[in-house]
Structure formats: structure tokens, C-alpha cells
Amino acid sequence: MAGLIPEDFISEVRGNVNIVDVISQYVSLEKKGKDYIGLCPFHQEKTPSFTVNEEKQFFKCFGCGKGGNVFKFLMYKDNLTFPESVQRVAEFTHIPMPSGYGQSQVKLNPLIKMHKDACDFYHHVLLTTRAGERGMKYARERELSDEILEHFQIGYAPKQDNLLLTYLHDKGYEDDELAKSGLFVESQDGCLFDRFRDRLMFPLGNESGQIIGFSGRRISQDKTEAKYMNSPETEIFTKSKVLFHFAEAKKAARSEGHLILYEGYMDVISAYKAGVHSGIASMGTSLTDQQVYMLRRITPNIIINYDGDDPGVHAEERAAHMFEKVGGFNLGIVVLPEKLDPDEYVKKYGAEKYRDEVKGALSPTDFFLKRLAQKYNLSNDRERITYLSEAVKEIAHLSNPVEQDIYLEKVAKQEGVSKDSLKVNLMRERRRQNRANRHKGNLMNEIDTLPDSEPVEQIEQYDPAQTRLLYLFMNSEEARNYILEQRFLFPDQNYAQLAELWLKYIETHEKISTNDFLDFIPEQLQGIIVNAEMTDMPKGDSSAKEIRDIIRSLKMRKIDSQLNELKNKIQDAERRNDGQEILQLTQKILELKRVQGQKEAF
């Protein structure tokens, strides 16, 4: 199952990486006892059920059932093959692949490889060719330095309609592959043409930084063409699940302490030039639930900095409500003066002043109260009273009494009213909200809850007794010898197959580890091993009595199952008035009960 990569090398790679370090690039983990926990990257959840055991180097989600070692995590998360995951971990640990086991052996998804080649092509054209001079002139006008061009791998798509097509043909790609990539458009007669022409090209990466699409910025003055053009959705690119600069920003978030959400990639780039490296942006679409969930897994500390104009501030309000709905965020909101966007602000006021704006981000409540005040004429008493009523409703949503007190005092001072009068209104509003919540809770109890926006896979049902016995079989030579002496066979075929595979494994390997064993068994059996390892098994050596008790309970369970089956058959025979079959079935039941009695005595 390991392909052509030597087993010793796989063991070396696995032994030189800490699974916590790898998974931390995708999930914000918190130490709880001996384990680390976080929000599962494979399904949406509000309460963390994803667990990483550093000692055993396994992960397990108790919500969706996925689990395994570091290789399995990358196979699930980045849709890699096993050899690809070994290579990825080897790169992480700076261990060179053995001779002959590089990219030629470990093949990327063809579309991802094609996008990497396209990115290299566009970047090369911009930096080194005469055809790219037009793009470079525009890049310099936008104050994009060599460092920025290199970090963001920015390129240029020339005016000609088949340069990329010719280049990728020469790299060996076939037309059917090219047609699926989104990099080309197809004419009515079936000919392919470059989709992006005369545009500055910004690569779009997935969570691991692999290029999966592009956004092209028009550099001509021809307003009949769209200013921005994104790749269409493909099997590797879904706009609602992509955040520009995410792979790099989440690394910076560890030092900067937060992620900053922008509207567009030029804002991310301007912020980067200003020394803010944790910027990300959605790609020409409103923020989605999937993107909010991606951010929650990395850090709860999010700052929103959209454009300062009315549509931008409205979008910030919508985004803030989305974050509050999910919960668990420490949210900050930046509203730049003069209706400037971040790019314009940095150019006008400089990097230091922009960083000060970020540091001074508003809390969501401050932001909502300011937005609310702008809707009313506060010099008019009627509208002022309406504003105060709405402000109290906003403050009532806060669960922290200290926060409520702070904002009540702030509003009271601003509007020249007593804090005590606002507090009376606050108590009334809290009672009203509590009644509404109770009513809502009663309604929810009467209907089925909606499923998550992403389906959770069916969790396999594990047999605790067989799992414990298999754990002993694998981890104790004394227990294994005793079980073999009893000539016991696991009643479940999967457990029986694992026991057989383990015997073969220990015969052929000098160094034995469960983590290593996991990589050489069928995928459908791996969940049983992970479940056994992640279960809090009793410590210490097992006793012969424990093993006898488990074996007896499994045999008794089998007899109970057979007895139930025979009783059902007797009922069928009685309906048919088949006395002969009833007699035969009764004799079998008596025989099984005799065996049952003997085993109970055992």
C-alpha cells in the first residue's frame, strides 16, 4: 500500500514529525489534559470534537468519525494519495525524498500541477519577457515591488489568445485535461483559447497554498471588458471555499495574533506592504459560512476591514452578524475615514497610521451602535427616543453584565440621559428576549433540527468488547499468546482480519508500532485501530481473567443472537402449523441453552 517508497523511509519521516505541528497549520488546537482539541476541519461544528493525541501521534474526530495518523490527516484534508502525503510530510521535516522518488513518482492532481505550470508561465512572462513589459509597467504604476511580485507570485497573461495553450501543450497536457481546467474557453467549433488575456494575474491558492485558480485584473482602458475576471469553478476551485492569501496569512496569524479580512486582494497586498501579513480576502463574493468556519478553525481573533464607503460598511455589518451567529469569535471592525479603502488609506496616510487604525478596531457593539446612530436625527426627540430604544435592544444581546454596564454608560453620556433609566429599559428588554428564546426553544423541540451545511459522514459503530480484545492482542505479547492458545476467532470479520494482519506484520517487521501498522492495512479497517488507540483503555498488563471474561461475553453474545434467530423461525413455523420444523428448532434451542449454561459456568 505504500507504493514504491521504502518502508524505512516512511518510518523515518513519521518519526521526525509531530502530528500536532502539522495539524496546527489547519486547526487552532488547545491543550486539554494529555490531548489537544479543536474544531474539526472535515465537518462544521460549534463545539470542538476533534482530538489529537500527541503521545500516540493520532487524531480522531468524535463528531464525524475520521481519524488516523499524520499521513491520513493530509490525505483527508488535501485529497492526497498516500505517497503524496509522505512527500508532503518529508518536505515539512526537510528530509529529502530517496533517489527516484520525487515528483516523477509522487504525482500531483493533474489540474493542480497544470495550475502550478500556468502560474510559473505567467510569472516568467511578467518578469523576463518583452511581452510582459506592458504588465510590468502597470505593476509599477500600482507600486508593486519585486518583493511583492515574488511573494504573491503575480504574473501577466499576454494579449495573444493561445500562448498559454501552446505552452501547456508543449508540457504534455491533452485537450480534454485543458478543457476542464478553467484556464481556457472553448469556441463553437471546439477550439480552445486562453481565457485570460492582457491581465495582471493573481494566483489563488487552497488552504495548503497549492494554486487552484486565478484572478486577472484588466490593465487596458477598455471598459467593455470586466475589470476583474476569476477562474470559473472547477473540480479543484470553489469560490465560496477559497480565501486569497489564506495559506500564508494563517502562518502570520501566529505572530500577529489575528487574521484580517478584506474585500479584495489589492487590499491584502497593500496591507502586506504596510507590514500587516495576516490579511485575507474573499474572491469577489460575499463572505460565506464555509469561509467563516475556515477562519474559526485557525483563530478566534478576526478583524474586518472592508472599504470605508457605504456598501463596504454595510458588508462589514453583514459579516459581523455572520461571525456572531457562529459564535466564539473575538471580533474587531475597522471603518476607515473619508470612505477610503485600505489600499487608498495606505497610499494617503502611510503604513504606520494604517497599523494604528487596525489596533483601534471597534468592538461589534460599538460598531452597531455607531451604525444605529447614523440612521436617526438625534436632535429630534422622537427619533432620539427611538434610537435609545434600539440601542438598549442591541446592548441586551450581550451576555456579559460588565459589557452591558460599559455600553449603557457610554450611551447615557452621549445622549444626556440617566444610566438608571436605561437600565430599567434593559431589564424589560432582557425579560422580553428570554420569553422569546423560551418560545423558540419549545418550537425547536417540536421539529427536527436542520443538518449541517456540510454532510457529516456516518460514524462507524465499533464493538467495545472486540476493540478491547484486539487492543490487548496487539499491545501485549502475553495476551496475544493466551488468545491464540484458546483458538479464539473474532466473531466480526473485520476484527478477525486485523488480528491476522497484525500477526503477519510482527513476523515481517523488526520495529513494531501501531502507527506504522496503520499505513499498511486496508483503509476500511483503519478506523477500528484509530478508535482503539484513541479510547482511554485501562493501563497496565491485562489479566487472563479479563481476557476470559471478554471471550466468554463474545461467545454468549453469539449464542444469544442464534437463539433470537431460532425463536423467530419458530414463530414462522407456528404460523404455518409446521409441527416437524417446530420440533427440530426446539431441539436446537435446547442444545444452545445447554452450551450457554456450560459457558456461564466457565
Q: Residue 98: what pLDDT?
A: 85
Query: For residue 337, what is the DSSP state?
Result: G
Q: Is the pLDDT of residue 305 over 60?
A: yes
Instruction: Report how far apart the first and last C-alpha atoms of the chain are (Å, whole number).
Output: 42
Give 496-552 pLDDT, tens digit per residue: 999 999 999 998 888 888 999 998 888 888 999 998 888 877 765 567 888 888 888
pLDDT tens for each residue of 46-74: 889 999 999 899 999 998 889 999 999 99
Q: Is the pLDDT of residue 453 over 50?
A: no
How many Å apart are CA 243 and CA 294, to the nearest integer?
A: 9
What is the mean pLDDT of the segment spanning 355-372? 94
Question: Does residue 601 carry a pLDDT above 60?
Answer: no
Which residues are paired to 243 by β-bridges? 282
Residue with cell 490527516: 73
pLDDT score at 584: 79
pLDDT score of 104: 47
Cα 375–chain centre separation: 39
Instruction: Answer left, alpha or beta for residue 457, where phi above 0 means left and psi between -120 and 50 means alpha.
Output: beta
Whether residue 515 contacts residue 505, with contact meaning beta carbons closer than 8 Å, is answered with: no
- Most confident of the following: 114-123, 418-427, 544-553, 567-576: 114-123
Report the chain's mean pLDDT, rounded to a whole number.
87
Buried b (16+ CB within 10 A) or exposed e, 20-43: bebbbbbbbbeeeeebbbbbbbbb
Given a cut of 90, is residue 197 above it in pLDDT?
yes
Given this model, what pLDDT does residue 155 score? Answer: 98
pLDDT of residue 598 exceeding 60, the answer is: no
For 341, the grid coordinates are 479603502
Rounded CA Rg of the chain: 31
Q: What is the structure's pLDDT at 579?
A: 78
**What is the longest distance spanned by two Cα atoms in the chain?**
99
- Return the higher-pLDDT residue of 257 and 433: 257
**Using 50, 70 and 90 to split pLDDT, how confident is the model at 327?**
confident
Query: For the chain, give me the number of helices (H) and strands (E)?
Result: 26, 16
Helix (H, G, I), strand (E, B) or coil at 116: helix
Q: What is the dihedral of CA 582, 583, 587, 593, to 10 degrees?
A: 40
Would you state the pLDDT for residue 597?
62
Q: Over 60: is that where the pLDDT of 430 sits?
A: yes
Q: How far is CA 559 from the centre of its chain?
A: 45
Return the number of other C-beta atoms located less than 10 Å from residue 199's C-beta.
27
Q: Write down the H helix ranges in 523-578.
A: 523-534, 544-575
- Confidence at residue 442, expressed as pLDDT on a 0 to 100 scale: 58
DSSP state at residue 69: -
pLDDT value of position 231: 95
Q: C-alpha distances in angstroms, 459 versus 1, 41, 66, 531?
A: 24, 16, 8, 11
What's the pLDDT score for residue 555? 78
Beginning with the edge strand found earlier in the chain, give each strand of the sheet holding 301-304 in spatial order. 243-244, 279-282, 259-262, 301-304, 330-333
Cα–Cα dist 216/226, whole Å: 10
pLDDT at 457: 44
Question: Phi-psi bin for 323: left (phi > 0), alpha (psi -120 to 50), beta?
Answer: alpha
